Amino acid sequence: MCSSVSNVFETGNYTTKLLRVDSCSHAQNVPPPKSLLIATPIEGGEFPLLLFLHGYLLLNSFYSQLIQHVASHGFIVIAPQLYTVAGPDITEEIYSVAAITNWLSKGLSKILPLNIKPNFHKLALGGHSRGGKTSFAVALRKLNMTTDLKFSAIIGVDPVDGMDKGKQTSPPIFTYVPHSFDYDMATLVIGFGLGDVKKNPLFPPCAPKGVNHEDFFSECEKPSWYFVAKDYGHVDMLDDDTKGVRGKVSYCLCKNGESRKPMRMFVGGVMVAFLKAYLHGDNVDLLAIRDKNLSVPIEMKFDYFV
């Protein structure tokens, strides 16, 4: 059965709903290990899953527009709040992601609308910035962690591992040997062209060279996809209105592009195309982006496939 190219950069055909599930006070018998923000279609059906991890010191709510974009194309996106304050070590995040993954088959269906069925055999893991690094760490089975459910694809949205080469967060994952990541699944890395540019001379860039998207992609095995946006910064796919002190800081510490909406459309669209390819077996949109047969809302710096 052949499919036609769809505009993955625009909102999809499904109406979406955001669910907020608290880890402490939820009425269900099996509360999640961490509080969750879930974007789900509301039209009945069975849908693949994406577990998506927030960036360093950011809130999962800052990604609400992005995860709704993905959900509108027929996916259930689960975005946990892994912490509010954290040090340089991601050990606890790895344990938390494993616990959340193991909870999904026990508790997710009790939270979703009755007509929505999660497909636990089609599950992807992804994250932004430090959340991207954590996703790779889980895929690489760091700390000997295993999960009840198997991931089929990994996404890193401008992933970052520390301040500089040699100043990585623990546990380290880079070997700096090309194609050395040892896991059996497809990978998508999205890079932001301004991520390694300082906005303020007093602070380092948000995605420094030596520990950023270039290094993650370099260590990926086949099949892996790599798209880099030219004139956008490290947090330019967040919601337009990120509230509170953390939300304001997201505009101050990282070099920014002109507007968040085009980058959010780009990131959401590439994620959808990749998920369709490796969770649905439909690579038409992903190939259309690669082959420049689909109009892209931003200018790409380059793209690669291995």
**141 neighbors 108 (Cβ within 8 angstroms):** no
Match 């007093």 to its residue by tokens.
202
129 is catalytic: yes
What DSSP string describes 113-181? Answer: -TTEEEEEEEEEEEEETHHHHHHHHHHTTGGG---SSPP-EEEEES---SSBTTBPPSSP----STT--
- The catalytic position among 234, 236, 239, 285 is 234
229: which strand partners? Answer: 192, 300
Helix (H), strand (E) at residue 78: strand 76-80
**267 neighbors 129 (Cβ within 8 angstroms):** no
- The catalytic position among 129, 218, 224, 250 is 129
Token digits of residue 148: 């009840």
Within the chain, residue ranges assigned H as helices are 64-71, 91-111, 130-139, 213-219, 244-252, 260-279, 284-290
Which pairs with CB-CB distance under 8 Å and at least 24 residues apart come from 82-86?
82/34, 82/53, 82/54, 82/131, 82/134, 84/57, 84/59, 85/57, 86/56, 86/57
128 is catalytic: no
- The catalytic position among 61, 135, 158, 213 is 158
123: which strand partners? Answer: 49
One-letter amino acid at 155 equals I
Cis check: omega of the bond before 31, within 30 degrees of 0: no
25 is catalytic: no
Q: Which residues are CB-contacts of 237 (< 8 A; sequence separation ≥ 6)? A: 63, 66, 128, 157, 260, 263, 264, 266, 267, 268
| Catalytic residue list | 129, 158, 234
